[in-house]
Amino acid sequence: MITAAVVLGFFAVLLAWPAPLVLARSTWPARAPGVALVLWQAIALSGGLSMIGSLLLYGLVPFGNMLGPSIVTLGGNLRAGTLPSGTSFTHVLALGAAILLGTHLLLNLLATFVRAERQRRRHHTLIALLSDPLNGRPEMRVIDHPAPVAYCLPGAGHSATVLSNGLLRLLDADQVRAVIAHEQAHLVQQHHLVLLAFKSWHSALPWFPIANRAENAVALLVEMLADDRARRVVDDQTLARAIALVGFALAGATRPPDKEADAVARAAASASEGDRGLVTQPEHPVHQVMPRVARLVNPTVPLHYTATAGALSLSAVLLAGPALILFGA
């Protein structure tokens, strides 16, 4: 089992730093956000499993040569209050670290989902009290707020898309349709579940820089996926202008004239091409405007099917490899 522990340790180090760093700095995810999102999830799951599995296998070395029998032997030794010969402090430390890390990650994930569900229920109650339906559509709620706000509020059987009066005054009818399609795409594709998982990872390991980078990268990818759904409803220029107008307003300015809005879109496209950091680390929703507008104003060729197949195959290997090593040990 020591060999398997070393291999999993290598996987853990690879997936903890260089692999996500390379992916975060790559430009191809904008051409295939769905594929990139699958790869990010594979890296996160495989990295966590490799880290815990490496510690577990190393700690179980004195108890046997296979995972299952070693765990049974460990249980027997714990009941008897003895340890086999050859058990060192590092073995005990590795076992304790594996148990603590695994428990910490799972409990933090559960706590994150429970808190989010409570907040959603409270938010649904407030929205029902403080908003009005849009044109008689109960799933579309309008709040009286001057800022251009639009967001989706998921829920079991009662999801809602919330718009502000400020948004409706800022955008024309086609742009509002684009925003609604974008927000409904979040609901249909269940993006909140993916975001919560990466938020949980970041909150569980706040000192881990890759967790923060992964959360930001995934947040941008789900916005791009929702944009792609909205592109089926309106043309790219209309969607780009809507994103630029809302981003301009959220940055603290008033509504720009039409020509200025176009200039904002062009500037966003140019800036994202010259500033890789804005593409990979959008720390605030406004910072997501530039890369999103860039791919709409300057559309690129979709990722080739061979590259897509390669990325998806790599994701499958990342998911299956550590599991096979761990349970085959």
**pTM of the full structure:** 0.87
Model confidence at 264: pLDDT above 80: no
How do residues 69-82 score in pLDDT, each as one tens digit? 999 999 999 899 88
225 is written with which tokens?
Answer: 């996926």
How do residues 280-299 score in pLDDT, each as one tens digit? 233 345 678 889 999 999 98
DSSP alpha helices (H): ranges in 31-88?
A: 33-59, 67-80
What is the percent of the chain where pLDDT is above 70? 89
How do residues 146-198 score in pLDDT, each as one tens digit? 999 999 999 877 789 999 999 999 999 999 999 999 999 999 999 999 999 99
**Mean pLDDT (whole number) for 11-30:** 93
Model confidence at 270: pLDDT above 50: no
**Mean pLDDT (whole number) for 296-322:** 95
Domain boundaries, the chain: 1-87+303-329, 124-298
According to the model, what pLDDT value does residue 250 have? Answer: 79
**Separation of alpha carbons 116 and 110, rounded Å:** 10
According to the model, what pLDDT value does residue 248 have? Answer: 79
In this structure, what are the phi and psi dihedrals at residue 138, rounded to the nearest 5 degrees?
-65, -25
- Mean pLDDT of the residues in the chain: 87
Q: Say if CB 238 and CB 174 are below 8 A apart.
A: yes
**Mean pLDDT (whole number) for 131-141:** 86
